[in-house]
Amino acid sequence: METVIYAHIDYSSTGVPFITGTQTKVEEIVLDHLAWRWDAETIHRNHPHLSLAQIHSALAYYYDHQAEMDASIEAGLQQVAQIRTGLGESPVRLKLMAQGLLA
């Protein structure tokens, strides 16, 4: 199997891809792209510490590993849902509902 090296992408000790010289995970760039439908230029405007080359490299990495990264994103969303369920209703929300300020 051929090993592909991505310019601007390194891996943490646990194997998480991140942008070289930063603490920005590739997944963070991907989430901006997927959730907000941002293109590389828009991501760059919102993350000016990243170059367009770094952003394009992160997106290329995503599209080459899409199934794996989508599964990781989905697992993260499920974990957040479990945590929210475990926390129960927010005391602030309950108070606002009692005052008739929320439905």
Helix (H, G, I), strand (E, B) or coil at 55: helix
CB 8 within 8 A of CB 20: yes
- pLDDT by residue for the chain (103 residues), tens only, comes to 678 899 999 999 999 999 999 999 999 999 999 999 999 999 999 999 999 999 999 999 999 999 999 999 999 999 999 998 999 988 998 999 999 998 8
Q: Side chain identity at 27, as an amino acid letter?
A: E
Please give the pLDDT value at position 80. 94
User: How many Å is the maximal CA-CA distance in the chain?
Assistant: 63
- The CATH number of 9-98 is 1.10.10
The domain segmentation of the chain, as residue ranges, is: 9-98
Cα 103 to Cα 68: distance, rounded to the nearest angstrom: 39
What does each C-alpha distance from 57 to 3, 44, 51, 84 come to in angstroms? 16, 13, 10, 33
Q: Which residues contact 65 (CB under 8 A, 6 or more apart)?
A: none
Please give the pLDDT value at position 1. 63
Please give the pLDDT value at position 35. 96
Please give the pLDDT value at position 3. 81
Cα 60 to Cα 73: distance, rounded to the nearest angstrom: 17
